[in-house]
């Protein structure tokens, strides 16, 4: 079976090839931890609060996100703090409409000033020849009227990077959630929030980027539908001329096949920018009980070239098994 899967994964499509044997390592400084393949950066996790541009309300400051995410050829695929949505942070996942007791708190739309997500420390860092990564704690903080703060949810991110045999990066993101609130917390059904959010590079628009889901939906059709996997790719300065990410949802995730938020081409005043999210509460609320831990698992295949749907399906089957 392992040999058969390897033949399938290396025999289809047109992805670029970079050395799969490059050692994976990580380096940390006062602001972030960066994972490298050889000397090429793969992703940067930012643990220091990032202030918004000068003249913008400081309420938009945030930490605990991934940016940049680089393709194997060095193309930056993520974006933070775009002027149209200063609260967008590369790859991130705060929850939007939540309620507990008499409180209704939005942790996503920072401009409302109701809450935020904060980095709360590393619990592990690891590097071996074929993988490198870390575990970190996040806190969903809500602001009380008297100026004090309280934790509504504790979150752990486990991020692991591996090389693939064909030169793409494999990035696993496992989220574990629990709440210290005695009443529990309800993550209300809404069109976006939680899961896995991705704001794409500003280079991608309606004329040079594409979307394809496991159910055959294009960008104009995908919003609100469900999928096992989603390919988001677009023009790139690498020799292949194209880079992208295959997003995979694990079959044990809540509401799998997972609903998604996908900006249609006319969204955001017709700018054509890409925002995608696996959104497990899109159609149905989720109640988190106290003293219980909940898990969501995602995988990203980061590549240069073009991802064929047959290849995407094989990657998903490998992830699911």
pLDDT digits (tens, 9 = 90+) for 26-83: 999 999 999 999 999 999 999 999 999 999 999 999 999 999 999 999 999 999 999 9
Picking from 140, 145, 235, 270, the residue whose alpha carbon sits closest to that of residue 194 is: 140
For residue 284, the model assigns a pLDDT of 97
Chain-wide mean pLDDT for the chain? 93
Structure tokens given for 178: 């629990």
pLDDT over 70 percentage in the chain: 94
Instruction: Tell how strand 258-262 and strand 286-288 pair up.
Output: unpaired
pTM of the model: 0.94
Average pLDDT (218-237) is: 98
Cα–Cα dist 104/46, whole Å:
28
What integer pLDDT is reported at residue 1 of this predicted model? 34
- When pLDDT is averaged across residues 263-283 and rounded to a whole number, the result is 93
CA 163 to chain centre: 18
Q: What is the CA radius of gyration of the chain?
A: 19
Tokens describing residue 268 = 């955001």
- The token pair at 43 is 């992703």
2.120.10, 2.40.50, 2.70.98, 2.20.25: CATH of 2-320: 2.70.98
pLDDT at 271 over 50: yes
pLDDT reported for residue 97: 97
Q: What is the DSSP string of 253-291?
A: STTSSEEEEE--TTHHHHT---EEEE-TTSSS-EEEPTT
Per-residue confidence (pLDDT) for residue 21, from 0 to 100: 73
How does residue 16 score in pLDDT terms, banded at 50, 70 and 90? low
Residue 4's pLDDT band, with cuts at 50, 70 and 90, is very low
Reported confidence tier of residue 18, pLDDT bands at 50, 70, 90: low
Per-residue pLDDT band at 8 (split at 50, 70, 90): very low
- Please name which of 123, 134, 130, 207 lies closest in space to residue 169, comparing C-alpha atoms: 130
For the cut 70, the answer to whether the pLDDT of residue 86 exceeds it is yes
Average pLDDT over every residue of 259-267: 94
Query: What's residue 6's pLDDT?
Result: 34
At 12 the pLDDT is 39
CA–CA separation, 131 and 50 (whole Å): 28
Helix H or strand E segment including 234: strand 229-235
d(CA 46, CA 198): 15
Average pLDDT over residues 92-114: 97
Mean pLDDT calculated for residue range 126-155: 96
pLDDT at residue 174, rounded to an integer: 98
pLDDT at 19 (0 to 100)? 57
Q: Is the pLDDT of residue 20 over 90?
A: no
**pLDDT category of residue 268 using cuts at 50, 70 and 90:** confident
């Amino acid at each position: 079976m392992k040999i058969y899967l390897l033949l399938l994964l290396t025999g289809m499509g047109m992805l670029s090839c970079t050395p799969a044997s490059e050692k994976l390592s990580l380096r940390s400084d006062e602001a972030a931890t960066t994972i490298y393949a050889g000397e090429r950066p793969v992703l940067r996790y930012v643990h220091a609060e990032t202030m918004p541009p000068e003249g913008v309300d400081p309420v938009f400051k945030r930490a605990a996100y991934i940016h940049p995410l680089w393709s194997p050829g060095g193309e930056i695929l993520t974006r933070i703090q775009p002027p149209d949505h200063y609260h967008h942070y590369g790859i991130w996942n705060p929850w939007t409409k939540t309620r507990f007791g008499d409180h209704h708190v939005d942790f996503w739309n920072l401009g409302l000033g109701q809450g935020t997500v904060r980095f709360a420390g590393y619990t592990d860092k690891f590097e071996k020849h074929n993988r490198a990564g870390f575990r970190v704690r996040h806190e969903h903080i809500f602001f009380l009227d008297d100026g004090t703060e309280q934790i509504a949810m504790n979150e752990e991110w486990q991020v692991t990077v591996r090389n693939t045999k064909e030169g793409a990066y494999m990035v696993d993101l496992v989220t574990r959630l629990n709440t210290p609130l005695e009443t529990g917390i309800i993550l209300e059904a809404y069109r976006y929030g939680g899961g896995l959010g991705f704001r794409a590079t500003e280079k991608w628009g309606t004329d040079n980027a594409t979307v394809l889901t496991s159910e055959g939906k294009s960008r104009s059709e995908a919003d609100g539908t469900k999928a096992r996997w989603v390919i988001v790719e677009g023009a790139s300065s690498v020799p292949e001329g194209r880079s992208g990410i295959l997003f995979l949802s694990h079959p044990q995730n809540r509401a799998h096949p997972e609903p998604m938020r996908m900006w249609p081409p006319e969204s955001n005043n017709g700018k054509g920018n890409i925002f995608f999210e696996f959104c497990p509460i899109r159609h149905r609320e989720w109640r988190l009980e106290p003293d219980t831990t909940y898990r969501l698992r995602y995988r990203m295949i980061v590549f240069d070239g073009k991802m064929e749907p047959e290849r995407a399906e094989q990657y998903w089957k490998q992830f699911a098994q």
